[in-house]
Structure 1
Amino acid sequence: MFIRLTDQISVAGQLDPGDLAQAAAEGFVSVVNNRPDGETFDQPAESVLADAAAAAGLAYTAIPIDHSGFTMAQVEAMAAVLDEASGPVLAWCRSGTRSANLWALAEARRGGDPDAIVAAAARGRYDVSGLLPTLQSLSPR
């Protein structure tokens, strides 16, 4: 259910409130909801997920990504979550793809090696290779 990209980040498709208790049991310390509230009629409300995360003892951040693309503010917000987390982070959206892409952009912004980022995403079966030029421009390497 949770797809590990690195020791610090895993991604997933849509989670339910009970999945957050499972995430805490598996050692995650922070969760990031990358799905806009109300994107589909069948997803749990953001407030319900935030409450479930708090009940599980998880730090919770909402960085909604709609289909119009990513902004630098969203990239910076994800980088901040990764910088501040004291352990593994779990990010989710509908399928995990937006979360994997946002992580890749944030990791490059944090100084990660673009080729290593692409390889890590690929191990999780996410193809972020189309972002390589952007990853290269974001990375201070």
Structure 2
Amino acid sequence: MPIKTLAPGIGVSGQVDAASIAAAKAAGFRTIINNRPDREEPGQLSSAELEAQARAAGFDYRHIPVAPGQYDDADIDRFCDAMGGCQGPALAFCKSGMRATSLWALSQAGKLPVDAILRQASACGYDLVPLIPQIEARAKRARD
């Protein structure tokens, strides 16, 4: 499970397991944010199982499940709260890292320029061009 650093304090990845939790710990992460709904695919560990493993390894753990491409304001606000209240660097994950990256991008709307958000996501292999209207709308609301 490769971890991609989006910005200082936030990395993203695909699905984590016990081995990747240990790797995240060794890499200095202190919070795990799970963006996958339970039972999204057969054999996937439940959030409760992942939380137990993460907490046993000394992590703070947050579960903010979102469906692909469906990022409502409540989910984005929960992600913002998780990032603001986390104990040290956070690793956000989903199946591929795209939802975690999208939530991060939307959480940065109004804080970073849209082109900077897109560049950082692209550098990690995520194309967020389809999210531009939602990022811009959130940035406008933050300014108003």
TM-score higher than 0.5 here? yes
2: CA distance, partners of 1:50 / 1:86: 15
Name 1:44's counterpart in structure 2: 45
How far off is 1:68 after superposition? 6.2
CA contact (8 A) 1:21 1:52 kept: no
Query: 1:36 is matched by which residue type in structure 2?
Result: P
Aligned residues: 140
Name 1:75's counterpart in structure 2: 76
Q: Does 1:54 align with 2:55?
A: yes
2: CA distance, partners of 1:68 / 1:39: 14
Unaligned runs of 5+ in 2: none
CA contact (8 A) 2:30 2:89 kept: yes
Query: 2:123 is matched by which residue type in structure 1?
Result: R
Name 1:136's counterpart in structure 2: 136
CA contact (8 A) 1:118 1:128 kept: yes
Q: What TM-score does the superposition give when structure 1 sets the normalisation length?
A: 0.92
How far off is 1:6 after superposition? 1.0
Moved segments of 4+, more than 6 Å: none
Unaligned runs of 5+ in 1: none
Q: What TM-score does the superposition give when structure 2 sets the normalisation length?
A: 0.90
Question: Would the alpha carbon gap of residues 15 and 107 (structure 1) be closer, same or farther in structure 2, given more than 3 Å must change?
Answer: same
Q: Does 1:114 align with 2:114?
A: yes
How far off is 1:53 after superposition? 0.8
CA RMSD of aligned residues (A): 1.5
Query: 2:79 is matched by which residue type in structure 1?
Result: M
Name 1:104's counterpart in structure 2: 105
SS of the residue corresponding to residue 32 of structure 1 reads strand
1: CA distance, partners of 2:112 / 2:21: 28
2: CA distance, partners of 1:127 / 1:13: 15
Once structures 1 and 2 are overlaid, which stretch shifts more, 121-130 or 85-94? 85-94
CA contact (8 A) 1:30 1:88 kept: yes
SS of the residue corresponding to residue 91 of structure 2 reads strand
CA contact (8 A) 2:60 2:87 kept: no
